[in-house]
Every structure is written in C-alpha cells, then in structure tokens.
Chains A and B, each alone.
Chain A
Amino acid sequence: GAVVSQHPSRVICKSGTSVKIECRSLDFQATTMFWYRQFPKKSLMLMATSNEGSKATYEQGVEKDKFLINHASLTLSTLTVTSAHPEDSSFYICSASRSGGRANEKLFFGSGTQLSVL
C-alpha cells in the first residue's frame, strides 16, 4: 500500500508557541490531503481539506487562523498550530488521497502527531 509519512510523531511545547506538522506522501502524488483531529477514545474529526496549490477548506468550527494549512506540492502538506494553548493538545492525523475523495477510494493515513501543550 501507499506510504504517508507524518512528522513529528510527538511534540511537547509551551503555551503560545507554534508547532508545524508535516505530512508527506512518499510513493504517490496526493491530489488532496485531509487533516483530522482525535481526542482519546473518540472518533477522528475532520478539520480541513487541502488541495495542492489552493487554499484549504476548513470544517465548521475549525479556526483557519489557528490551524494554518499549506499544500505546496503534490507530496507535502503542513499543518501549523499557531499560538498553541493546552486545549489544542490532541492527536493530529493526516491522510492523502490520489483522487480527491472519490466514494470508493481508500485513504492512506500518516502515523499521527501527539501534541501536548503545557
């Protein structure tokens, strides 16, 4: 299967700092990348959809100025949590799509980033 690499796997930061998370599709070109957030024992909640070369589309309730997404190439998307606060602590997971979300397409996921804001 296709490989999606996500870094870092774990980050601890002080409140007020910004954290960048990278998501790379290693062996295919990802037309679309999705960013999810997951709290313990809860489902994955879609935060935003990013398409290469265009602005990300954010889900309702997700602050676009807090969670900056850049999809500069077909193999790289980044999520920057700006001025992080303890309530931003969560597990962030990216996924990559070849087709942009066709109904029969399986997604490939990164291994996730556990963010802890002190």
Chain B
Amino acid sequence: SQKIEQNSEALNIQEGKTATLTCNYTNYSPAYLQWYRQDPGRGPVFLLLIRENEKEKRKERLKVTFDTTLKQSLFHITASQPADSATYLCALYNQGGKLIFGQGTELSVKP
C-alpha cells in the first residue's frame, strides 16, 4: 500500500541550530514533493516544492532534498528560531490527482 511516513516523535532543538525532518514514501513514483507548515488550529501553509530531477532546493533558511532512489526527502531549517516551532508536513499527489499528507513532525525550537 502507499505510505508517506514522517517521524512522529516531536523534534526539540535549541535556537540557532539546524532542524532536519525526514519524509519517506513507499509505492509512489512522485514527480514532485511538497512541504507545508501547520500551526495549531490552522490550515497548512505551502513552503516548498521540489521536482524529482532536483537534488536540492532552497528558500531563505529552508532547504529541501529529494532522493528518488532512497524514496526520501529531507527538510532542513538552518539558524532555527522559536517562531519556526510548528508541525511540518510533507505531501505527494497520488495518481488520482489528490494531495496526500504524511502525519507531520512537530518541531519545537527553544530559546
């Protein structure tokens, strides 16, 4: 069956450090992979999209990698700040054109 798996354990890091979140998928062959941020009681907000032929994509302090051999994407936040505390979701479109999400990883950045 198709799965999108993210580390369900919360990630706690110190301000200024780099946060790295993992997204693994099985039985998908995505051409694109997306990352979203979700704050408590709010809808997700789009952050980044990466194509299968892109190894890495950056946006300000965010960096995403996409390894189609390992079927894995890594999401990095450098120089993390308490305001980065949120749940981060990876997502893929299935063959039916529907965006399916991983369960998300909660990030907590302590000052």
B111 close to A (CB within 8 Å): no
Number of interface residues of B (CB under 8 A): 24
Q: Residues on A close to B: CB < 8 A?
A: 1, 4, 6, 34, 41-44, 46, 49, 91, 93-95, 100-104, 106-112, 114
Is B49's CB under 8 angstroms from A106's CB? yes
A31 to B89: give the CA distance in the assembly, Å.
24
A43 to B91: give the CA distance in the assembly, Å.
10
Report the nearest A residue to B100, measured CB to CB.
A46
Q: Which residues of A contact B101 (CB under 8 A)?
A: 43-44
Query: Distance (Å) between the CB of A68 and the closest chain B CB?
Result: 20
Is B32's CB under 8 angstroms from A104's CB? yes
Is B31's CB under 8 angstroms from A104's CB? yes
Binds A, one of B36-44, B57-65, B71-79: B36-44
Is A106's CB under 8 angstroms from B89's CB? no
Report the nearest B residue to A104, measured CB to CB.
B32
A49 to B97: give the CA distance in the assembly, Å.
10
Is A49's CB under 8 angstroms from B51's CB? no
Q: Which residues of B contact A103 (CB under 8 A)?
A: 30-32, 93, 97
Q: Which residues of B contact A4 (CB under 8 A)?
A: 43
Query: Distance (Å) between the CB of B4 and the closest chain A CB?
Result: 8
Residue of B89, B98, B104 near A34 (CB, 8 A) is: B98
